[in-house]
């Protein structure tokens, strides 16, 4: 295995390659360094086989989508990832063959719902779930400190002690650790109970990342702010959330709400299908096509996407345009599908 960290900064991007077959993946690429990655691949004479984000980033723009356009390499993320331009969604236990190497994905939610770790031989890439002598925050974008504790203690700490830990960030100048050292010396985890960890994380009161407003929603939607004017985080926090069963009950009554699906056409007709009667208006066109929803801005609207993230953005946009009764399907089509509720594919 050929392994390089390419950013030389607090934010880490890893190149993993099979030396025999000269094939590579990039893990957590940053958009600002795309030229560097392409130059390194050319210098090492490697063919890029895949691009992987360990989670939806809130502090930097992902380079996956642009690199995918430039190279044709597929983008891989967890099944819960909200972005539409993911070519392969992975679940816990899935593998990716890279020449003589096998990359095994572990679902490690907590920092975000779509967080994954990647085991390659005696190395694990932990994203922002487990850091060196720390852990990723769990206080925004669906974060869950209890789930994070379970992911670390139940999944990552089950790996052999000698397993090398390579996180997506480090703020103290560290390059690597091991599972054994983190179990023994990580101050947030050593000797800590699940309840104690949840209380500790709740007490941190960390400031939001400096660039979260210009980074998070573009990463979630794979759109730039010159395509869509994103709502503020305060507006997003005010969006009403409706569980799948509640929406199903509402659709059985008269008059039913108008369901607006803001995914792309390929997603609308793809594996998850769509809610019967849903109107497809992709997020990037929503503001321009809002007039299609009619003049009655008091009518009930429920907005839907893959995981409930892009549709929260859409619900906030519609509310800002004067629509008075807008809600979001919590968990999106993933939750609807997992609840066994009816879908169409045509």
Largest CA distance in the chain: 64
Q: Is residue 158 part of a domain?
A: yes
Q: Which of 22-26, 194-198, 210-214 has the lowest mean pLDDT?
A: 210-214
* Same-domain status, 160 and 229: no
* Same-domain status, 325 and 188: no
What confidence tens digit (pLDDT) does each residue in 29-68 have? 999 999 999 999 999 999 999 999 999 999 999 999 999 9
How would residue 167 be classed by pLDDT, with cut points 50, 70 and 90?
Answer: very high
* Same-domain status, 239 and 160: no
Q: What is the CATH number of the domain that holds 126?
A: 3.60.15.10
- Which residues on adjacent β-strands are paired with residue 274? 344
* Same-domain status, 11 and 84: yes
Mean pLDDT of 192-199: 98
Q: Is residue 310 part of a domain?
A: yes
How would residue 213 be classed by pLDDT, with cut points 50, 70 and 90?
Answer: confident
Q: What is the CATH number of the domain that holds 254?
A: 3.40.250.10
The SS3 assignment for 48 reads strand
Q: Is residue 343 part of a domain?
A: no
Question: What is the dihedral sign for C-alpha 90, 92, 95, 101?
Answer: positive
The SS3 assignment for 125 reads strand
Strand intervals (E) in 57-210:
75-78, 88-90, 95-98, 101-107, 116-120, 123-127, 130-131, 134-135, 164-167, 177-178
* Same-domain status, 312 and 246: yes
| pLDDT of 282 over the 80 cut | yes
Domain ranges, residue 177: 2-203
The SS3 assignment for 17 reads strand
What confidence tens digit (pLDDT) does each residue in 292-310 have? 887 778 899 999 999 999 9
| pLDDT of 199 over the 90 cut | yes
* Same-domain status, 110 and 248: no
Mean pLDDT of 110-124: 98
**pLDDT greater at residue 208 or residue 264:** 264
Mean pLDDT of 72-100: 97
- Which residues on adjacent β-strands are paired with residue 50? 25
Q: Is residue 216 part of a domain?
A: no
* Same-domain status, 197 and 250: no
Calpha distance 298→157 (Å, rounded): 52
How would residue 195 be classed by pLDDT, with cut points 50, 70 and 90?
Answer: very high
| pLDDT of 129 over the 90 cut | yes
Average pLDDT, the chain: 96
Q: pTM of this prediction?
A: 0.95
* Same-domain status, 134 and 74: yes
Closest listed residue to residue 313, CA positions, set 269, 283, 280, 346 = 283
Looking at 141, 173, 203, which one is the last position of a domain? 203
Pairing of strands 23-27, 130-131: unpaired
Go through 165-177 and write b for each residue having 16 or more CB atoms within 10 A of its CB, e for each that does not: bbbbbbeeeeeeb
* Same-domain status, 16 and 143: yes
* pLDDT the model gives residue 210: 82
* pLDDT the model gives residue 208: 87
* Same-domain status, 8 and 60: yes
Mean pLDDT of 306-327: 96
% of the chain at pLDDT higher than 70: 100
| pLDDT of 201 over the 90 cut | yes
Mean pLDDT of 130-146: 95
* Same-domain status, 111 and 43: yes
Q: Could you tell me the CA-to-CA distances from 294 to 54, 58, 258 in Å, in that order?
A: 41, 35, 11
Question: Are 305 and 260 spatial neighbours (Cβ–Cβ below 8 Å)?
Answer: no
Q: Number of structural domains, the chain?
A: 2
Go through 33-53 and write b for each residue having 16 or more CB atoms within 10 A of its CB, e for each that does not: bbebbeebbeeeebebbbbbb
For tokens 């899935």, name the residue.
94
Q: Could you tell me the CA-to-CA distances from 162 to 81, 124, 182 in Å, in that order?
A: 30, 11, 11
- 35: tokens are 């030229």
Q: Can you give the length of the chain in residues?
A: 346
Q: Is residue 214 part of a domain?
A: no
* Same-domain status, 50 and 192: yes
| pLDDT of 332 over the 90 cut | yes
Q: Is residue 209 part of a domain?
A: no
CA atoms within 13 A on the CB side of 170: 19
Q: Is residue 118 part of a domain?
A: yes
Q: Is residue 232 part of a domain?
A: yes
Calpha distance 166→177 (Å, rounded): 7
Provide, for the chain, the percentages of residues in helix, strand and coil under a 3-state DSSP scheme, each rounded to the nearest 5.
Answer: 30, 25, 45
């Amino acid at each position: 295995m050929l392994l390089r960290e390419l950013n030389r900064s607090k934010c880490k991007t890893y190149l993993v390659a099979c030396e025999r077959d000269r094939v590579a993946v990039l893990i957590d690429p940053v958009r600002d360094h795309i030229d560097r990655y392409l130059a390194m691949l050319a210098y090492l004479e490697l063919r890029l086989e895949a691009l992987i984000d360990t989670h939806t980033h809130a502090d930097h723009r992902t380079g996956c989508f642009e690199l995918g356009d430039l190279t044709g390499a597929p983008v891989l993320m967890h099944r819960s990832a909200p972005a539409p331009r993911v070519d392969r969604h992975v679940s816990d236990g899935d593998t990716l063959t890279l020449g003589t190497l096998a990359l095994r994905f572990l679902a490690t939610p907590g920092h975000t719902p779509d967080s994954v770790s990647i085991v390659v031989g005696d190395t694990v890439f932990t994203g922002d779930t487990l850091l060196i002598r720390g852990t990723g925050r769990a206080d925004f974008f669906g974060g869950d400190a209890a789930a994070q504790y379970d992911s670390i203690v139940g999944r990552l700490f089950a790996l052999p002690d000698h397993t090398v830990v390579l996180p997506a960030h480090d703020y103290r100048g560290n390059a690597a650790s091991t599972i054994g050292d983190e179990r023994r010396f990580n101050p947030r985890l050593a000797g800590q109970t699940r309840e104690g960890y949840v209380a500790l994380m709740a007490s941190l009161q960390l400031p939001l990342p400096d660039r979260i407003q210009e980074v998070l929603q573009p990463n979630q939607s794979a759109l730039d702010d010159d395509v869509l004017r994103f709502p503020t985080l305060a507006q997003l926090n005010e969006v009403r959330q409706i569980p799948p069963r509640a929406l199903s009950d509402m659709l059985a009554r008269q008059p039913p709400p108008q369901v607006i699906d803001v995914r792309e056409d390929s997603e609308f007709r793809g594996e998850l299908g769509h809610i019967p009667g849903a109107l497809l208006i992709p997020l990037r066109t929503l503001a321009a096509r809002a007039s299609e929803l009619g003049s009655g801005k008091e009518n009930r609207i429920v907005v839907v996407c893959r995981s409930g993230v892009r549709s929260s953005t859409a619900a906030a946009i519609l509310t800002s345009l004067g629509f008075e009764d807008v809600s979001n399907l919590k968990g999106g089509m993933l939750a609807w599908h997992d609840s066994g509720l009816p879908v169409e594919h045509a």
